[in-house]
Structure 1
Amino acid sequence: MSRVLPWLHVYVFSYNRGDFLANCIASIQRHLTDVAVWVVDDRSNDADTQAYLADLPEGVGLLQSQAHESSRHGGLYNNMQMALEHAASERAELALFLQDDMQVVRDLDADDQENIEGFFAHFPQAAFLNPLFLKGMRKRRDQRITQVADDYPVYFRHYPEKSNPRGISYADAMIANVPRLMAAKWQFANGETVNAEQADKLFGKMGMMLHPFAMFLPEVPVFRGKKKSWAVAKAEQLRGTQPNRFFGMTSRQIAALKERDVATVLPVAEDYLVTERDAKRPFTYSQINVYPWLRVIHKLAQKFAK
């Protein structure tokens, strides 16, 4: 860990998706040089994931939760708290939180670093900055609610009719200002909505990068490592279980991202990122949603199982 820059630590939250985790870590090491990288594993019991964790790439550390929880999110939020406290003990200024089904898609350069650090300097109350591309399925809504700040190159969302600040003040994938969270005695709660509510009160709105560098992979298998319904298993059979990786952005794609009119053209994933295999557009982020008929069958199976 001697090559670590003090301004950023990276934490990847993992459970039973070894191939996805390996892809996420490889993308970080390919595009983010000289950062500390940690896998925060939720006690994976999948053999492939355990094999990967036993032989992590050089420079990648491992933190493991005490026990996997059976709730919808597993132990994610407890693990995020553990990562935050670890980052504080390492005296990290900023911590990038990613999940194993995400990928870093381009290099960060000096301008990106200056913009990220400058955001937190310019907004002394802010604690979160979102580094992800926007989803094409929500493009029309995002065009309406996403605006460039008057005095700094960053987006904020203005969504007055929304009943809660989820996606406005907080998201589970973010760049976090570690000292500010610790000073506020921040504790991750079990759910994005409740975390957004406390973030809104403590820190106000979350910034969103004009030039993002990471994104969810499309069409990720669901309920990996759990009992699958017939519909989920059928979706896996039709779409496969391996990550549909993004190609790293080319210099031309990066130039198009950074030279666009940011006030009118949002950074939508489908406009800048290319997958290795064909993917339904706009991207869908769960395999079951690729096939509406399978989703209906799956929902019915869940209903009758209760």
Structure 2
Amino acid sequence: MKFAGMDMLTPKNTLICIFSYNMGATLERCIQSTIKMCAGFETILIDDASEDPRTVELLKTQRHLFREVIISREPKLGKRHGNLYLNIQKACAYATQSGFEFLMMIQDDMQFVRPFDENIGKQYGDLFNSGDKVLQVDPRFLRRGEYEVLKERRAYRYDTRTSYADVGIVHLGRLNSIKWQFLEGERANKQALTDLGYERLFPFTPITMHVPFPRVYRGGRGRFRVFPFNRGKYGFAYMTEQEMADMDARPVEQVPFFRVFLRPYNMRLSRLLYWYRKDNKIFT
């Protein structure tokens, strides 16, 4: 199915959704950064029946900041990620029924580090227009690894199998055209959508990232970690005008690794752990 091209992503055609579960202070940072960096965009929040007192309080006190707050009440049945995929399906349906063309999915262990402005909206729109099979634009900074540099599209691709992630901006028309029902697990969705020929692109200019050393939940239970002691309270500083200008002036061959462009804050002793641990260990 062919879709008419759009000039850019805007507050009129893009809905932001935060997926929440028991993150407390980390959720608060996610909300604050979204409000600060996404001026004019409407946001909904879908919570997977949090029990953490601070999270529950935030859902009450911050409700006025959202178009809608939805609490998922369905039984989780011991699933590793709870009702995340049911909630993603709900979010896609809500955005579609509300007339949006794109859904930006944000997890509660993430934050924005620079504005979602007109230049970003144009850049991301160009990526969706670059191919009928572009299903998702993933606006995160990248971990160290081997990436394919797509010079003409000014974008990056991890490999041809990465068609989908539980984070990123989804083209709802393309997803709905195949009447997609989300499967349990990111890998299962990724493989099935890859088999259908879809792709996910990383943009030249990312605007979000996971926070370092979050609290981690699996199957509804928190994972015990001894160090660092203040898990869930770290983050990245908002990029300055000069930092954004320097980043935007780089050649496309320079991949936007988070360690190069982002500054962690609220760290003392834990900064040593941040610099010496492997990238994938920082976010788990």
TM-score, normalising length from structure 2? 0.86
Once residues 90 and 223 of structure 1 are traced to their aligned partners in structure 2, the CA distance between those partners, rounded to angstroms, is: 31
Flag the structure with higher strand content: 2
Flag the structure with higher helix content: 1
Once residues 21 and 127 of structure 1 are traced to their aligned partners in structure 2, the CA distance between those partners, rounded to angstroms, is: 27
In our comparison, the structure showing a higher alpha carbon Rg is 1
- Asked if the contact 2:135/2:163 (under 8 Å) is kept, the reply is no
Q: Do structure 1's residue 52 and structure 2's residue 46 form an aligned pair?
A: no
Name the residue aligned to 2:6.
none
Name the residue aligned to 1:80.
88
Return the offset for 1:158.
3.6
Q: Which one-letter code corresponds to 2:243 in the other structure?
A: Q
Where in structure 2 are the equivalents of 1:96-135 lying within 5 Å?
A: 96-135=104-143
Where in structure 2 are the equivalents of 1:54-203 lying within 5 Å?
A: 54-60=60-66, 61-67=68-74, 69=76, 70-135=78-143, 139=144, 141-142=145-146, 145-150=147-152, 152-158=153-159, 165=161, 168-203=162-197
Once residues 280 and 179 of structure 2 are traced to their aligned partners in structure 1, the CA distance between those partners, rounded to angstroms, is: 33
Point out where structure 2 has 5 or more consecutive residues left out of the alignment.
Answer: 1-9
Name the residue aligned to 1:234.
226
- Asked if the contact 2:25/2:232 (under 8 Å) is kept, the reply is yes
Q: Which one-letter code corresponds to 2:26 in the other structure?
A: F
Once residues 223 and 90 of structure 1 are traced to their aligned partners in structure 2, the CA distance between those partners, rounded to angstroms, is: 31
Equivalent of residue 272 in structure 1, options 251, 254, 261: 261
Name the residue aligned to 1:41.
47
- CA RMSD in angstroms comes to 2.3
- Asked if the contact 1:149/1:156 (under 8 Å) is kept, the reply is no
Once residues 224 and 287 of structure 1 are traced to their aligned partners in structure 2, the CA distance between those partners, rounded to angstroms, is: 17
List per-residue Cα deviations over 1:117-143 (Å, max 9, x = no partner).
1221221221111100001xxx2x32x
Return the offset for 1:58.
3.0
Once residues 178 and 128 of structure 1 are traced to their aligned partners in structure 2, the CA distance between those partners, rounded to angstroms, is: 9
Once residues 249 and 283 of structure 2 are traced to their aligned partners in structure 1, the CA distance between those partners, rounded to angstroms, is: 36
Question: 3-state SS of the aligned residue for 1:234?
Answer: coil
Once residues 68 and 27 of structure 1 are traced to their aligned partners in structure 2, the CA distance between those partners, rounded to angstroms, is: 31
Question: 3-state SS of the aligned residue for 2:235?
Answer: coil
Equivalent of residue 26 in structure 2, options 20, 33, 53: 20
Return the offset for 1:173.
0.6
Once residues 245 and 63 of structure 2 are traced to their aligned partners in structure 1, the CA distance between those partners, rounded to angstroms, is: 31
Label 1:224 to 1:172 Cα distance change in 2 as closer, same or farther (>3 A): closer
List per-residue Cα deviations over 1:151-197 (Å, max 9, x = no partner).
x22222346xxxxx2xx211111100111111111111111111111
Once residues 243 and 86 of structure 1 are traced to their aligned partners in structure 2, the CA distance between those partners, rounded to angstroms, is: 31
Once residues 222 and 118 of structure 2 are traced to their aligned partners in structure 1, the CA distance between those partners, rounded to angstroms, is: 45
Percent identical pairs in the alignment equals 25
TM-score, normalising length from structure 1? 0.80
Name the residue aligned to 1:221.
215
Equivalent of residue 15 in structure 2, options 9, 17, 30: 9
